[in-house]
Structures are given as C-alpha cells and as structure tokens.
Structure 1
Amino acid sequence: MEMTNGSLQYPSILHADFGPLNDLLEENETNSTAGERNWLNCVQIRIPQELFLALGLISLVENILVIMAIIKNRNLHSPMYYFICCLAVSDMLVSVSNVVETIFMLLNDHGLLDVHPGMLRHLDNVIDVMICSSVVSSLSFLCTIAADRYITIFYALRYHSIMTPHRAIVIIVVVWLASITSSILFIVYHTDNAVIVCLVTFFCTTLVFNAVLYLHMFVLAHVHSRRIVAFHKNRRQSTSMKGAITLTILLGVFILCWGPFFLHLILILACPTSPFCNCFFRNFNLFLILIICNSLIDPLIYAYRSQELRKTLQEMVLCSFCFGV
C-alpha cells in the first residue's frame, strides 16, 4: 500500500505504508509533529522519526530481556514459556525492523547516507517479510498459548503426556516455517488483493478460535476445578487460570494495537478510492506507533503476571547494574 498525492497504489501491502522507507522513495520528506491538512480537509499527523527509534529500542531491549530470562531460569522451561518466548521473538522482529529502517531514514535526512533507491526497495522487501512474519507468528502463538492453557485446565492430569517438550518444539518449528514461508509468498504476490484477504481472514479466524476457547474455559472452569481440588491440584488450577487470564490480556492488547492496521487492510478492499477512506489511510503512522507499542507492552504484561519471570528479570537488571558500576 502506498499513498501518493491522494491516490492509493499497491507496490507493497505492508512496509510501503508500513515504514518511512517508501516515503523516502516517493517524497524524501522528513516527518514532523505538526498535523497537516490535505485537500479533503483531513488531518494528517506526522510522527517524528526519533519517536519511532526510541520506542523501537525500548521494545527491543525489553523483549531481549524476556527471552534471556526464560532461557536462564530453568523453572520457566515449560511449553507455555517456550511459546511466550517465541511471542517475544515475534515482537522483537517488529522492533528490529523499525529500528533498522528508522536509522536509515535519519541518516538519509541528515545527509550522512546516500543509498540507491534499488537498495532501499530490497531493504523494504526484507522488512516487509519481517513484519509479515511477526503478524502471522504472533497470531499463531497466541492461538498456541490459548490451546496450551485449555489443555492445562481441562486435561490437567494428562497435560504432561499431551503437551510434551518435544511436541512443543515441533509446534514452534512448524509455526515459524509457516510464518516465514507465507510472508515471503505475501510479499512476492503483494499486488494481488487475495494477499490482503488472506491476512484479514487469518486475523478474524484466530480471533474466533481464541474467543471460543476463552468462552469454554471461563464458563466451565469452575466445574473442573472441583475435580482438580479432589485430586489436590489446587495450585495447578489456580496457575492455569492465571495463565488464561494473562493470555486474555495479551490478546486484548494485540487487538487494540493491531486492529487499526487490519481495518486499514479491510478499507483497501472495501473503498480504495473513497475520499473518506483516504483520510483514514493518511494517518497510517499512528497505526505504526500502536503496533510498536504492542511490542513494548507485551513484556510488561509477562513480567507483571508471572512472579517467577518478574523475579528473574529483576535479578538480571540488578546484576547488569552492579556489573556496570
């Protein structure tokens, strides 16, 4: 998606709108904080590149800490935390792509970098794949975590035989292979509206899947809790429900942060030439900030909801601080 002089074109479905690199190819203009009024009297809010860079770096550091904490603490070596670790990697892809492209933009804006447009388009395609992989893998791992919590609650006594570490690793490998492959195909066939339809359909399908699991979990969990109490597994039930609530928060944040982006895709299909939809398209940078904020907020949710993870993160930060001093 690419906006040029009020018209919508389709050289790329994600990063052409998804980042400032394509703005460089089209207009070579620097973002500013002031709102601009276009010919439809629409407000186009410009976001400074420095804000993108700052949020991207913070998000990157947070997600790296989460991944390192899960690797370091053996108590966190379980399928659920493996999936959470992969979700952190997905968020990290957004952060890395944002930081890389923003640095390129800042260097170019200050005259410190002279890059051939062809190279920028190749870089743009790579970042497209990273962003698309992040979307697909994030949704997939949210579904995987939901299924894991479902099994923990309703098949507690058989959980370790159903969700073995080996199966968890196989699931992780399959999800990443599918995410990367589909992302490459999406970018190769970016001019086809079917690509946008696939992304929107996948988004809606995963939301329905999670909603069905949540409804079943929270409506019938009290029935199973009595059975688990009878087998002296109170702690497991409490932990499982806490994990389900954590996942609910993660999914809610994901919907709030990624929702405008998917609405953008839907409007491209529904009203690509409508002046009113074009007003919505012009503020895509606001949606990008929300997406980066999702990558920044997720680690805070992990730390807040998991005492074990929070404790490990605190130890790592304190050790780093002491080492630095």
Structure 2
Amino acid sequence: ATAGAGGAWCQGLNIPNELFLTLGLVSLVENLLVVAAILKNRNLHSPMYYFICCLAVSDMLVSISNLTETLFLLLLEHGVLVVRPTIVRHMDNVIDMLICSSIVSSLSFLGVIAVDRYITIFYALRYHSIMTLQRAVVTMASVWLASTVSSTVFITYYRSNAILLCLIGFFLFMLVLMLVLYIHMFALARHHLRSISSQQKQPTIYRSSSLKGAVTLTILLGVFFICWGPFFFHLILIVTCPTNPFCTCFFSYFNLFLILII
C-alpha cells in the first residue's frame, strides 16, 4: 500500500537530453574562459589562481562527461549510432570515472582554496614562504593523482556501501573544513573591524561591514551545500534505504542533482 501510494504521488522528473547538452556547453565555455583568463594574465600567475584554474578544469570534466554522455544517448536514441552492449558498458564506466574524478578533485580544490585563503589572512607576512610555487605544484599534482586513483577504486567497487560511505565522509570532511576555516576568517575580520570602528568612533561602518561579511559567508557556504548536498544525500539514501518507496522517489530526481552540480 505504501509503495502504491508512493508511486501515485511520486512522478519523478523527466529532463530532456537537450537541456543537459545546453547546460554542459554553457558550463564548459564558462570554465574555459576562467582558465584562459588566468593563463593569459600574468598578474594572476600565483598559487591561489592556479588552484582556481584547477577547480575550473575539474568542473570542465563534469561538463565534458555530461556532453559526451548526452551526445552518445541522443545518437543511440535516434539510431544514428549502433554499438554493441559491451562498448556501451565500457563507455559508461569511462564517463562514470571522469565524473567521479571531477567530483573528488572539485571538492579537494575547494578545500585547498579555503586553506590558502586562511594562510593568506592569518600568516600574511609568511604567506609567500609557506605557499611557494613548488608546494602549490606538489599540492595540485597530489590532488589530481588522488582523484584519479580514488575514482578508479570507486568505479571498480561501486556496489560496496563502504565505498559510498568513504565518498560521503569525504564530502562531510570538506564541508566541516570549509565551515571552520571561513567562520574563523570571518571572526578575525569582524574583530579587526570592531577595533577600527572603535578607534574612529564609527559603529555604523562596523555593523554594515559585519553584515556584508556574514551575507558573503552565507552565500558562499550556502551555494556549496545547495549544489553538492542533494547529490550526497542521494548517496546516503542508497546506503540506508535503497528499497524504501520514499527513498526511491528521491532517486527519481537524480538528474536534477546533476544539473545543480553542473
């Protein structure tokens, strides 16, 4: 009865492949512009912008994977491309590995950028000696290597709940890390503003700046959670209640979660 009721009210969400194709193209162009701007402008040749460039490249992997899969499905759907099921399966594994690698690398570089900003604020005078170009290169290479290895492991043992729990744990770790670092940075900025406003006797400036900082922090972490949260909540439900009708209904909106990530 519950399953029947769930089927009655849960219609899922049918998103046309053309929409995925369009979003993938827009996302690809946007990230290409970011990479081109950083590479072309020598003033942006610093560790922070290299990390942002790597973040854009990892997001491009999502777009490329989405474009490849959507084009592949459209060609199969219209009978333009006829391939054997084994080739389709191998193609699906490659695309899944790209998506998984991009997810891990994207979350990793978001965490690296947060750590880099933290060092900039709390160790401003020693920043260039701490975050040298050599250390930045080692950090970027380590993230890409770890993302590639982990994505291969995830795709190989994707049926294991332990693998999904590792991915969920990694997301929660990055979320907590960003929360702690950015809130600490906001608290320091708020303390400095309070000191400046008390010296200048202008409390209005302090309240206005504190409000702007709080809004910026809320938007930054809010967008991160809105984009990534539903996808990882989806993984949590796969582990905890894969056959429950309400969880099954949530699974039917998976395409919407991919759109949020894109």
- Give the TM-score band, short-chain normalised: 0.7 to 0.9
Report the equivalent of 2:9: 41
Task: Provide the C-alpha distance between the structure 2 equivalents of 1:244 and 1:140, rounded to a whole number of angstroms.
Answer: 24
Report the equivalent of 2:235: 265
Report the equivalent of 2:200: none
User: Is the counterpart of residue 276 in structure 1 residue 246 in structure 2?
Assistant: yes
Q: 1:163 aligns with which of 131, 143, 150?
A: 131
TM-score (norm 2): 0.86
Q: Conserved in 2, the CA contact under 8 Å of 1:142 and 1:251? A: no
Q: Conserved in 2, the CA contact under 8 Å of 1:87 and 1:137? A: yes
Report the equivalent of 1:68: 36
Superposed counterparts of 1:127-206, under 5 Å: 127-206=95-174
SS in 2 for 1:43: coil
- TM-aligned CA distance change 1:99 to 1:38, over 3 Å: farther
The count of aligned residue pairs is 243
> Tell me, which stretches of 5 or more residues in structure 2 are unaligned?
197-211
- TM-aligned CA distance change 1:224 to 1:177, over 3 Å: farther
Q: Conserved in 2, the CA contact under 8 Å of 1:142 and 1:247? A: no
Task: Provide the C-alpha distance between the structure 1 equivalents of 2:52 and 2:169, rounded to a whole number of angstroms.
Answer: 24
SS in 2 for 1:113: coil
Task: Provide the C-alpha distance between the structure 1 equivalents of 2:118 and 2:12, rounded to a whole number of angstroms.
Answer: 44
Superposed counterparts of 1:43-62, under 5 Å: 43-62=11-30
State the Cα distance separating 1:41 from its structure 2 match. Answer: 3.2
Report the equivalent of 1:218: 186
Task: Provide the C-alpha distance between the structure 1 equivalents of 2:114 and 2:123, rounded to a whole number of angstroms.
Answer: 14
Q: Percent same amino acid at aligned positions?
A: 67
State the Cα distance separating 1:255 from its structure 2 match. Answer: 1.6
State the Cα distance separating 1:224 from its structure 2 match. Answer: 5.9
State the Cα distance separating 1:110 from its structure 2 match. Answer: 1.1
User: Is the counterpart of residue 289 in structure 1 residue 252 in structure 2?
Assistant: no
State the Cα distance separating 1:246 from its structure 2 match. Answer: 7.3
Task: Provide the C-alpha distance between the structure 1 equivalents of 2:52 and 2:114, rounded to a whole number of angstroms.
Answer: 11
State the Cα distance separating 1:39 from its structure 2 match. Answer: 3.4
Amino acid at match of 2:95: I
SS in 1 for 2:158: coil
Report the equivalent of 2:58: 90
Q: Calculate the aligned-residue CA RMSD, in Å.
A: 2.4
CA distances 1:141-170 after superposition (whole Å, capped 9, x unpaired): 111111110111011011110111111111
Report the equivalent of 1:252: 222
Task: Provide the C-alpha distance between the structure 2 equivalents of 1:160 and 1:224, rounded to a whole number of angstroms.
Answer: 23
User: Is the counterpart of residue 208 in structure 1 residue 172 in structure 2?
Assistant: no
> Tell me, which stretches of 5 or more residues in structure 1 are unaligned?
1-6, 8-36, 228-241, 293-325
User: Is the counterpart of residue 122 in structure 1 residue 90 in structure 2?
Assistant: yes
Task: Provide the C-alpha distance between the structure 2 equivalents of 1:247 and 1:117, rounded to a whole number of angstroms.
Answer: 48
Amino acid at match of 1:288: L
State the Cα distance separating 1:289 from its structure 2 match. Answer: 1.4
State the Cα distance separating 1:269 from its structure 2 match. Answer: 1.2
Task: Provide the C-alpha distance between the structure 2 equivalents of 1:248 and 1:161, rounded to a whole number of angstroms.
Answer: 31
- TM-aligned CA distance change 1:286 to 1:132, over 3 Å: same
- TM-aligned CA distance change 1:38 to 1:178, over 3 Å: same
SS in 2 for 1:88: helix
Q: Conserved in 1, the CA contact under 8 Å of 2:186 and 2:213? A: no
SS in 1 for 2:82: coil
Task: Provide the C-alpha distance between the structure 1 equivalents of 2:221 and 2:106, rounded to a whole number of angstroms.
Answer: 10
Q: Conserved in 2, the CA contact under 8 Å of 1:154 and 1:224? A: no
Amino acid at match of 1:131: I
Task: Provide the C-alpha distance between the structure 1 equivalents of 2:132 and 2:224, rounded to a whole number of angstroms.
Answer: 27
SS in 2 for 1:47: coil
SS in 2 for 1:44: coil
State the Cα distance separating 1:284 from its structure 2 match. Answer: 1.1
- TM-aligned CA distance change 1:253 to 1:98, over 3 Å: same
State the Cα distance separating 1:79 from its structure 2 match. Answer: 0.7
- TM-aligned CA distance change 1:284 to 1:222, over 3 Å: closer
Q: 2:72 aligns with which of 98, 104, 112?
A: 104
SS in 2 for 1:175: helix
Q: Conserved in 1, the CA contact under 8 Å of 2:234 and 2:251? A: yes
More helix by share: 2
TM-score (norm 1): 0.70
